[in-house]
Amino acid sequence: MGRPKLLDREHVVYTALCQYWQHGVDKVGMADIARLSGFDRAGIYKEFGGEPGLVNEAMTCYMEAYVEPRLPILAACSSPVMTMKLLIDAFIFDNVIKNLEPYGIQDKTLSWPKPLAKARGCAWYGMLISETSTNFTGKTKRQMKQIDDANRGWFVELLTKAEKENYLKSGLSVEEATDFCCDQMMLLQLMRRQGVKKDRMNRARDMILRTVFEESASAVLH
């Protein structure tokens, strides 16, 4: 009888993230992760303390490997409007952004992180719309709240900058715009998950930008 196969923790987390991002955490079971990673399900349970532990690790990996490297790129856009446009385009085109110049980014050393194969939209928003999200453990819910708070804080910072630079739609508060943008991001993720055609998602993007920003900023749509 051969020696048991040593579990590759990084490989299992990567496999889980691939599946969660592509299909949604509510559509992927531990049996799927075991089969695709090539490791025994019991060993995975033991290593991560069950499915919630694996979800925690996958989301930490997502934030560190895919979200944090994008922040300086988003900050390098020529205006808050361009930043929002780039963020939404990342949803629409599944994070395949080959040319950053249309967003006013001239720094050639910057490049949008290459996404996982067949990844759809944003893994984080995919978690939020998951049917099983209400069944997450306390630790997972705390992690999700931390990410949600950071995400909302990022929008507040962006839209505050837009207000100071006279891009924010007149009569719209930063708080209202933040609520609207966070809600629309979740809707975009749902549309992407359901395979809505790109031209319809492009129209949704343009409507979001027109709702949040002044008409004088609409030139970025052309």
Question: Dihedrals φ, ψ of 202, to 5°?
Answer: -60, -40
**If DSSP codes are grouped into helix, strand and coil, which group holds residue 168?**
strand
pLDDT of residue 139: 78
Instruction: Considering only residues 138 and 132, tell me which one the structure prediction assigns the higher pLDDT.
Output: 138
What pLDDT is attached to residue 135? 63
Q: What percent of the chain has pLDDT over 90?
A: 58
pLDDT per residue as tens digits for the range 147-201 = 889 999 999 999 999 999 999 999 999 999 999 999 999 999 888 888 899 899 9
Say if residue 221's pLDDT is above 60: no
Q: The tokens of 192 are what?
A: 């992407």
Q: How far apart are CA 217 and CA 81, in angstroms?
A: 7
pLDDT tens track for 38-77: 999 999 999 998 888 999 899 899 989 888 999 999 999 9
Q: Comparing C-alpha atoms, which of 199, 212, 207 is closest to residue 93?
A: 199
pLDDT, position 2: 47
pLDDT value for 220 = 58
Query: What value does the mean pLDDT of the chain take?
Result: 88
In tens, the pLDDT along 176-185 reads 999 999 999 9
Of 180, 114, 150, 139, which Cα lies nearest the Cα of 55? 139
Q: Which domains does the chain have, with CATH numbers?
A: 66-221 (1.10.357)
Q: DSSP secondary structure string, 20-66? A: HHHH-GGG--HHHHHHHHTS-HHHHHHHHTSHHHHHHHHHHHHIIII
